[in-house]
Amino acid sequence: MKDLQEFERYMAHLGEGLGHADRQGGLRGYCTGLMAPLKRKSVEPMAAHLAPSATRSRHQSLHHFVADSAWSDEQMLLRVAQWVVPAMDFSDGGWWIVDDTGFPKQGRHSVGVARQYCGMLGKQDNCQVAVSVSLACQAGSLPVACQLYLPQEWADDPQRRKKAGVPQGLEFATKPAIALAQIEHLMAQGAPRHCVLADAGYGVDTAFRERLGQMGLAYAVGVTGQVTVWPPGHAPLPPKPYSGRGHVPTRLRRGDVRHEQPLSVKEVAFGLAADQWQNIEWREGTNFTLRSRFARVRVRAAHREHLRTEQRPEEWLLIEWPEGHKEPMKYWLSTLDEDVLLERMVYEAKMRWRIERDYQDLKQELGLGHYEGRGWRGFHHHASLSIAAWLPDGPATAPSRGCG
């Protein structure tokens, strides 16, 4: 009984953001269907489960609620956060985790579907991809923003856009640009300035890292071994001496000798001394303690110095190179404090694993990828409702997810 009362309180809280009282039934029914033990969490099997003797009418009402009704998925996620975040414990730190996830799809008519990399499949295939930002504490996490990535071929096709209901003002944006817009919106709402975590798909984007710094947000983001930096002992040349004619040179240069050229982070890793590597444990895994070998060094990012008048600020390059491996396994650039302990830096960089658990639970338990409609509104409604339904699995809702 207590569980049911808590669920009703939660539904009432979410329903206050729907705009019309007659949408309350759709909210309750859709979330109930998503939490039901069904193999497929699309509208038809949910309707059959909820109303076996009136499946057709139930199907119509659920479809209208998710695909057509003009309530705000952004407001839904905000109200979920209002319910959950007060129960989250940030005494050991907080993080914004950026990532994207793919949904395999057949055909070409579902909004945003294209042949692109699908992490779920580990290869290029026909799929949709959504970019998300999650708020995490040591014990749990919550997706607070989710937006479909619209490939260029969709963004440039007015007919397909109109048919799928893509907002008129929405232009093509890269995944890092979408994530930045999500974070900027969260900051404008007064969200806390926690450290941002992301994989190399975002970390290699210099503009992404620079914008986080401009917003006053620390980061620990993955990069590939090919990313170039200026390690200690390497630096660009100052502007050319003024010749007395024309404009005064103000931009940095690269020289011809080794120390006047940046190095790839992989080259930096191979150049580190043996005593710079330490074995670090960062958390207890399912079956054993997670540990590996790490080193770090202060560097400056190297990118388009010929357009800059001064060097970029120093930041950390963190490297993971497990014993027995022929080369490093992972690299991160981080603006965590200069005096942060190596153990703490590893702990924070590795916290990104939570987003993988989020996606696994949302797809396997709540049917995040099961939406079969083709429109923009329906996709985002279904995603926000999957996140909302993810929570009521115990008497205290959010704390039952381990965030308290």
Question: Model confidence over 153-201: pLDDT tens digits?
Answer: 999 999 999 999 999 999 999 999 999 999 999 999 999 999 999 999 9
CA-to-CA distance for 78 and 384, rounded, in angstroms?
Answer: 10
Asked whether the beta carbons of 184 and 155 are under 8 A apart, the reply is no
Which amino acid type is present at position 372? E
Calculate the dihedral angle through the C-alpha atoms of 403, 281, 330, 312, rounding to the nearest 10 degrees.
80
DSSP 8-state class, residue 324:
T
What pLDDT does residue 245 have? 80
Residues 6 or more apart from 88 whose CB is under 8 A from it? Answer: 94, 135, 137, 139, 140, 142, 398, 403, 404
Asked whether the beta carbons of 397 and 391 are under 8 A apart, the reply is yes
Q: pLDDT (tens digit, 0 to 9) for every residue of the chain, 404 residues total? A: 457 888 999 999 999 999 888 899 999 999 999 999 999 999 999 999 999 999 999 999 999 999 999 999 999 999 999 999 999 999 999 999 999 999 999 888 899 999 998 877 888 899 999 999 999 999 889 999 999 999 999 999 999 999 999 999 999 999 999 999 999 999 999 999 999 999 999 999 999 999 999 999 999 999 999 999 999 988 887 777 777 787 877 777 877 767 778 999 999 999 999 999 999 999 887 778 999 999 999 999 998 776 777 888 999 999 999 999 999 999 999 999 999 999 999 999 999 998 888 899 999 999 999 999 999 999 999 999 999 999 764 323 343 343 43
Centroid of chain to Cα 225: 21
Show the beta-strand stretches assigned E in 78-217: 95-104, 114-118, 123-136, 141-148, 195-198
Centroid of chain to Cα 370: 20
144 vs 137, 188, 281, CA distance in Å? Answer: 13, 14, 29
- For 62, the token pair is 């659920």
The SS3 of residue 171 is coil
Neighbours of 182 (CB within 10 A): 19
324: left (phi over 0), alpha (psi -120 to 50) or beta: left
The SS3 of residue 325 is coil
Query: Cα angle at 149 between 147 and 154, to 5 degrees?
Result: 130
Strands 95-104 and 195-198: parallel
What pLDDT does residue 394 have? 33
Question: Model confidence over 364-398: pLDDT tens digits?
Answer: 999 999 999 999 999 999 999 999 999 764 323 34
Asked whether the beta carbons of 124 and 225 are under 8 A apart, the reply is no
**Short-list 66, 161, 73, 69, CA closest to 109:** 161
Q: Which residues pair with 133 in a beta bridge?
A: 98, 145
What pLDDT does residue 1 have? 44
CA-to-CA distance for 165 and 370, rounded, in angstroms?
Answer: 19
First to last CA, the chain: 22
CA-to-CA distance for 222 and 197, rounded, in angstroms?
Answer: 8
CA-to-CA distance for 299 and 316, rounded, in angstroms?
Answer: 6
Q: Which residues pair with 289 in a beta bridge?
A: 284
The SS3 of residue 132 is strand
